Structure 1
Amino acid sequence: MLALSHYNSTSPLLPFSNNDSEGTLEARVAVAEVQQQGNLTFDLPPTSGAVVVILSMTLGIISNIVALFILVNAYSLQRRRSKASFLLFASSLVVTDFVGHVIPGALVLRLYLHGGVRPEAFNTSDGMCQFLGGSMVFFGLCPLFMGCAMAAERCLGVTKPLLHSSLVTKTRTKTCLFVIWLAALCVALLPCFQLGSYTYQDPGTWCFIKVLRDTEEVDVAFVVLFSGLGLTSLAVALVCNTISGLTLVVARLRRQPGSHHSAKSHDIEMVVQLVGIMVTSCICWSPLLIFGLMLAIRSYTGSIGDDLSSYKSLMVMGVRLATWNQILDPWVYILLRRTVLRKIYLIAKCQAGLRGNKLGRWEPTSFHSSEKKEVNQV
């Protein structure tokens, strides 16, 4: 998580010496008066910001490692092709989140420890800013693309299982992952070809696409591309997950009370996890995607006016939420597993007194009994 809080601090008054000449004394008095009025202030990241970055990085690393262990263990025990493809996608997503949490977090921590970048340098961009900005774009688009691909794969598996079994293979899944990483990398590298630019953002501890100052046509086009791809991925995932969920609900309601289709328990678990990923991505990424697009257009048209400080706050809030996505994603796999869902179902059933009514169709025995050993090991 990028801890982007800041505070205003003034330089101490310059001491006066008896040896000062008249001109030097007048200059020192003038500087002291200006400083007392608070006109020479600098936005510096507080020391506590580095502590917050370290704590959030630790939480993110632990969460992703635990989720990766669960997914890899489940993948090694899985024999169903559809489930194996989903676990391969999910494991790749967790690995991407892990790397995307460590690399930008380490760069932000380095900026904090060096006091950040001065406001007058916000419009500049060095090699570190280029790398940090590109990392944020790359590791931002990858989870959104993967969530969209996973939702589309599950929608095909639920609605057209025969077509899914013939189209989706391990090799094609790996190819799809490679294409996703390559596409995100191509977008992140566009500023290297003068198609957009990265600059330091307030309070000088992170870099992103130029959206607030001196925005040009290529910057607006870059933001439109980045935000458009992200929002489109979220929209496609929403549609696919809705279709998958409705299909499973209709199939469950049409099923005879005495019959059991254990294979559906896999689909239920995967769709529930996909919904969790989608909700997390929407909450964490939508503000930054929308705010960035809105501010770039306003900056280009010159309509920001006196609301610059408010827009800075919006960008800081947006990037804070976006960085939480890499912390929350692993908990979707940790918490939304069948063993956890069964316990939640049993508790809810006991509390609500649902024994004997039609909702009894959702008996926990529908989760395949032969997989209890696998669940306990995971």
Structure 2
Amino acid sequence: MSPWQQRPPNASAAGGPGPRGNGTGRAAERGSAVSVAIPLTMMLTGVVGNALAMLLVSRSYRAKGGRRKRSFLLCIGSLALTDMLGQLLTSPIVISVYLSGRPWAAMDPSGRLCDFFGFSMTVFGLCPLLIASAMAVERALAIRAPHWYASHMSPRATERGLLAIWAAGVALALLPLAGLGRYELQWPGTWCFISTAGGSAFAAAFAALGLLSLAVTGACNLATIEALVSRCRAKAGGAQPGSRWGRIATETLLQLLGIMCVLSACWSPLLVTMLRMAWEHRAGPCRGEWRRWELRRECHLSLTAVRLASLNQILDPWVYLLLRKILLRRFRQAASAVSKCSNAECGDRSITLSEEIRRTAA
């Protein structure tokens, strides 16, 4: 998902509307408002980050210490694989259109490339949202219902669930082939996605599923946080607070929160915009008379929402990589200091939080 090229403000369209919707001018006339180096850098950053994340997941999965969260590691690895495939399938097309110096209609007169691009955008946009929900549900069950989790959940069951998620994403993305919705060229003519005009029901289904996934992820993570806080308070007064359990729980919690925040920030603007346009049964603001100056601002806002969604594939793996070491150590130090103070151990002592953190880190 990399619609990062755009026409400069004063550029005019040289080409008429293509067979898939919005017309675009020649790529050369789009100018250098956004250099091709930007999507190329984003693609490389996303591929490298996801590859590193999959490598670390593979090492953790084979390690003995990772047995108790292998299902979660499978979800993390699947999320990284899905994000990387999305980058590899869409970014080269966008870069090729930009470098070719020709409008999309000249490169894709049959519209099949547009369909493939829209299909890829749908699959690799929806599946990460569903996988993040599966991760949140899995961790909520592991923390809040450990006995049921131990007897019913297994890596094989997780694999079946992930296969079902991918199958659901592919099935939804194939609906335009059955005449339910369609994909069309989007402004500024370097990418294709779901049409909110002819396929309003399809667009509404995509947006509704995405928003539902975000809601499920948030609810499960809040339930997990509440359970972790309660358990940490219960263990705070014990002689053996369970350092291994605390490390695993804290690391998992931070990863869930990080991925949830990235998903919400990246996807909420686009999903809300799509749902609103589908509800109003109207096309996007850049369809048809997109050259009018008064519509340009709304066009850029819509394009910004798509760009935020494309950032999700890049940020997800780096959230996982960063929250494994540096931030985890700092968070554990702060949590240890707070839990000790809340347990009345420092009620009669005037000690600051920073001093407590340094003492626990020693």
TM-score normalised by the chain length of structure 1: 0.78
Q: Deviations over 1:179-218 (max 9, x none)?
A: 000000001111111100101111100101112xxx23xx
Which whole-Å CA distance do the structure 1 matches of 2:272 and 2:341 have between them? 45
Instruction: Say whether the 8 Å CA contact 1:277–1:332 is kept in structure 2.
Output: yes
Matched, 1:157 2:159: no
Which whole-Å CA distance do the structure 2 matches of 1:191 and 1:134 have between them? 9
Percent identity for Structure 1 against Structure 2: 34
Structure number with larger C-alpha Rg: 1
Which whole-Å CA distance do the structure 1 matches of 2:239 and 2:212 have between them? 42
Which whole-Å CA distance do the structure 2 matches of 1:302 and 1:95 have between them? 31
Q: Deviations over 1:242-292 (max 9, x none)?
A: 000011001111222433123243122112211111110000011111112
CA shift for structure 1 position 354: 7.0
Instruction: Say whether the 8 Å CA contact 2:90–2:120 is kept in structure 1.
Output: yes
Matched, 1:9 2:1: no
Q: Give the stretch that moved more between structures: 198-207 or 268-277.
A: 268-277
Matched, 1:259 2:232: no
Q: Who is 2:39 aligned against? A: 53
SS of residue paired to 2:11: strand
What is the letter of the counterpart of residue 274 of structure 1? L
Q: Who is 2:209 aligned against? A: 229
Which whole-Å CA distance do the structure 1 matches of 2:160 and 2:146 have between them? 21
Alignment of 1:69-84 (within 5 A): 69-79=55-65, 81-84=67-70
What is the letter of the counterpart of residue 222 of structure 1? F
Instruction: Say whether the 8 Å CA contact 1:64–1:97 is kept in structure 2.
Output: yes
CA shift for structure 1 position 140: 0.3
Which whole-Å CA distance do the structure 2 matches of 1:363 and 1:75 have between them? 31
Q: Number of aligned residue pairs: give it.
A: 330
SS of residue paired to 1:258: coil
Matched, 1:275 2:275: no
Which whole-Å CA distance do the structure 2 matches of 1:42 and 1:74 have between them? 48
Q: Who is 2:266 aligned against? A: 284
Which whole-Å CA distance do the structure 2 matches of 1:363 and 1:162 have between them? 34
SS of residue paired to 1:9: coil
Aligned counterpart in structure 2 of residue 175 of structure 1, from 160, 164, 185: 160
Aligned counterpart in structure 1 of residue 299 of structure 2, from 309, 312, 325: 312
Q: Who is 1:32 aligned against? A: none
Matched, 1:110 2:91: no
Which whole-Å CA distance do the structure 2 matches of 1:135 and 1:226 have between them? 13
CA shift for structure 1 position 73: 1.1
Instruction: Say whether the 8 Å CA contact 2:233–2:339 is kept in structure 1.
Output: no
Aligned counterpart in structure 1 of residue 121 of structure 2, from 120, 123, 136: 136
Aligned counterpart in structure 1 of residue 341 of structure 2, from 350, 353, 357: 357
Q: Who is 2:200 aligned against? A: 220
Q: Who is 2:315 aligned against? A: 328
What is the letter of the counterpart of residue 226 of structure 1? F
CA shift for structure 1 position 308: 4.3
SS of residue paired to 1:357: helix
Instruction: Say whether the 8 Å CA contact 2:3–2:306 is kept in structure 1.
Output: yes
Instruction: Say whether the 8 Å CA contact 1:81–1:165 is kept in structure 2.
Output: no
Which whole-Å CA distance do the structure 2 matches of 1:297 and 1:343 have between them? 45
CA shift for structure 1 position 299: 4.7
Matched, 1:294 2:279: no
What is the letter of the counterpart of residue 5 of structure 2? L
Which whole-Å CA distance do the structure 2 matches of 1:303 and 1:59 have between them? 31
Matched, 1:191 2:176: yes
Pair 330,313 (structure 1): closer, same or farther in 2 beyond 3 Å: same
Q: Who is 1:17 aligned against? A: none
Instruction: Say whether the 8 Å CA contact 1:134–1:188 is kept in structure 2.
Output: yes
Q: Deviations over 1:4-52 (max 9, x none)?
A: 322243699xxxxxxxxxxxxxxxxxxxxxxxxxxx9878433453221
Which whole-Å CA distance do the structure 1 matches of 2:81 and 2:359 have between them? 33
Pair 55,339 (structure 1): closer, same or farther in 2 beyond 3 Å: closer
What is the letter of the counterpart of residue 71 of structure 2? S
What is the letter of the counterpart of residue 228 of structure 2? L
Q: Who is 2:21 aligned against? A: none
Q: Who is 2:18 aligned against? A: none
RMSD of the alignment, in Å? 3.4
Which whole-Å CA distance do the structure 1 matches of 2:94 and 2:153 have between them? 39
TM-score normalised by the chain length of structure 2: 0.81
